Amino acid sequence: MSDALSPQFKPAAKSVAPHKLLGPKGKLLGTAKAPMTDAQALEALRLMMLGRAFDTKCFSLQRQGKIGTFAPLHGQEASIVGSAMALNPESDWVVPQYRETPALLRQGYPLEQIILYRQGHPHGGFVPDGIKVLQFQISLAAQIPHAVGLAWGMQLQQQDGVSVAYFGDGSSSEGDFHESCNLAGVLKAPVIFLLQNNQWAISTPREIQSAASDLAARAPGYGFPGISVDGNDLFAVYQATAEAVTRARAGKGPTLIECHTYRMWAHTTADDPSRYVDEKEEKRWGTRDPIDRVQRYLADSGNWSDDKAKAWEAEIADEIQSAFDNAAKVPPAGPEALYEHVFETPTSTLNRQRAAHLQEQ
């Protein structure tokens, strides 16, 4: 009888503890140092608060029938903003899924565009010249190959930009995620895979997506490192992304960052989470709010106060209102928009169909 062969590669028995820097009470943990200045933390806080206020407003507008179905970001502000803060909007690309409004805003994408998108206006898909973002992606994981292509293109043209692909734990089961990691590893492409593990894909929990102990643990299989971070900790997400950006710019290739966070609101305005979410778990995550801890941290150095909170809330409400006002100035689109931008020059078939539709001669 021969001895059984022992596999050289074994799955980890349990998940690793995510990197953390800033505790839920706003205190730096142990010997941790803040990876950003107070000025940067304030910039990040503003974006997080704006993102939450905007989605809160949109949620109530959706209930009034004024905008369409959308996916709110509540609970995920630190993983979205912490990662975006590590980028240089002049050179780096943000490739979103659909919850990443404040990451787009930091790149310079106008808020009124996102309003138009949520209103279902075709102009909502427009990306102004020079703004390095791709449009929201609704087909899960389809954006990840695009981010790899952008990174590859910048590498070939000797530009020092990086691209960041945002996607969820559910999306990380799609073939496009795995094909993308595989190709990016081979190319050493300057791309960061920013996996927001918010524990849910609509009603399907994280355990059903994969038997891997950690989703970030898949990275070494593709020949590059994976990092697990507390996704509700702005500082930890920022530091992990900044290190990944440095690696990417130095030609050392991709990084997979798994942000452990929690989707505090419904999947979308069309979802009913009471059918599947465990209230206790939700409450537990509620005590780890990503915005609250940054405010407490800044209060300790005298940079945050109730008065400031009030002032910012008013400013943010104004900013959102003026974006809605700007969006309202865009004329509604008519049937002719169906025939525009299909090709640079419409085919004779499209011209014929357009003329018949619009009863043109």
Partner 1 sequence: MTTLTMVEAIRETLRAEMLRDERVILMGEDVGHLGGVFRATDGLRQQFGAQRVFDTPLAESVIAGSAVGLAISGLIPVFEMQFLGFSQNAFHQICQQIARTRFRTRGSHTCPITIRAPFGGNVRTPELHSDSMEPQYAQGTGLKVVMPSTAYDAKGLLASAIRDPDPVLFLEPLRGYRLVSDDVPDDDYTIEFGKLRVMREGDDITIVTWSASVPVVEQAVEQLVAEGINPHVVDLRTIVPLDEAGLVAAVEKTGRCVVVHESPAAAGFGAEVITLLQEQAFYSLQAPLKRVTAPDAPYPPPGIEGHYIPSSELVVRAVRETLID
Ligand X SMILES: Cc1ncc(C[n+]2csc(CCOP(=O)(O)OP(=O)(O)O)c2C)c(N)n1
Q: Restricting to residues 126-155, which ones interact with ligand X according to CB under 6 A?
A: 138-140
Q: Which does 267 bind (CB under 5 to 8 A by kind): partner 1, ligand X, none?
A: ligand X
Binding flag, residue 135, partner 1 (CB under 8 A) = yes
* Active site annotation includes 276: yes
* Residues 258/226, Cβ–Cβ less than 8 Å: yes
Binding flag, residue 200, ligand X (CB under 6 A) = yes
Phi and psi at 32, nearest 5°, equal: -60, 145
Residue from the set 55, 169, 176, 271 that interacts with partner 1 by CB under 8 A: 176
Shortest distance in whole angstroms from residue 179 CB to partner 1: 4
Tokens (6 digits) for 288: 């780890």
Q: How many CA atoms are closer than 13 Å to the CA of 69, on its beta-carbon side?
A: 7
Q: Which is nearer to partner 1, 139 or 321 (CB)?
A: 139
Residue from the set 68, 153, 225, 273 that interacts with partner 1 by CB under 8 A: 153
Angle at 172 between CA 145 and CA 215, to 5 degrees: 125
In angstroms, rounded to a whole number, what is the distance separating the alpha carbons of residues 150 and 87? 15
User: For the chain, what's the residue count?
Assistant: 361
Where are the strands (E) in 60-161, listed by range? 93-95
Q: Which does 200 bind (CB under 5 to 8 A by kind): ligand X, partner 1, none?
A: ligand X
- 138 CB contacts (<8 Å, ≥6 apart)? 98
* Active site annotation includes 238: no
Tokens (6 digits) for 223: 């020949």
Binding flag, residue 239, partner 1 (CB under 8 A) = no
Q: Which is nearer to ligand X, 103 or 154 (CB)?
A: 103
* Residues 63/131, Cβ–Cβ less than 8 Å: no
Binding flag, residue 176, ligand X (CB under 6 A) = no
Closest CA to 168 of 130, 204, 194, 137: 194
Task: Please tell me what DSSP assigns to residue 304.
Answer: -
Shortest distance in whole angstroms from residue 211 CB to partner 1: 22
Binding flag, residue 121, ligand X (CB under 6 A) = no
* Active site annotation includes 74: no
Binding flag, residue 96, ligand X (CB under 6 A) = no
Binding flag, residue 74, ligand X (CB under 6 A) = no
Where are the strands (E) in 209-262, listed by range? 226-230, 255-260
Binding flag, residue 336, partner 1 (CB under 8 A) = no
Residue from the set 108, 120, 122, 286 that interacts with partner 1 by CB under 8 A: 122
Residue 47, Cβ density class (10 Å: 0-12 exposed, 13-18 middle, ≥19 buried):
buried
In angstroms, rounded to a whole number, what is the distance separating the alpha carbons of residues 283 and 298? 24
Task: Please tell me what DSSP assigns to residue 39.
Answer: H
Binding flag, residue 148, partner 1 (CB under 8 A) = yes
Alpha-carbon dihedral 231, 19, 300, 106, rounded to 10 degrees: -40
Q: Which stretch binds ligand X (CB under 6 A): 8-16, 111-119, 200-208, 294-302?
A: 200-208
Q: Which is nearer to ligand X, 264 or 316 (CB)?
A: 264
Shortest distance in whole angstroms from residue 12 CB to partner 1: 26
Binding flag, residue 326, partner 1 (CB under 8 A) = no
* Residues 257/194, Cβ–Cβ less than 8 Å: yes
Binding flag, residue 171, ligand X (CB under 6 A) = yes
Residues that bind ligand X (CB under 6 A): 71, 99, 138-140, 167-171, 198, 200-202, 263, 267
List active site positions.
Answer: 263, 267, 276
Residues that bind partner 1 (CB under 8 A): 95, 122-123, 125-129, 134-135, 139, 142, 144-154, 156-157, 163, 175-176, 179-180, 182-183, 186, 340-344, 347-349, 352
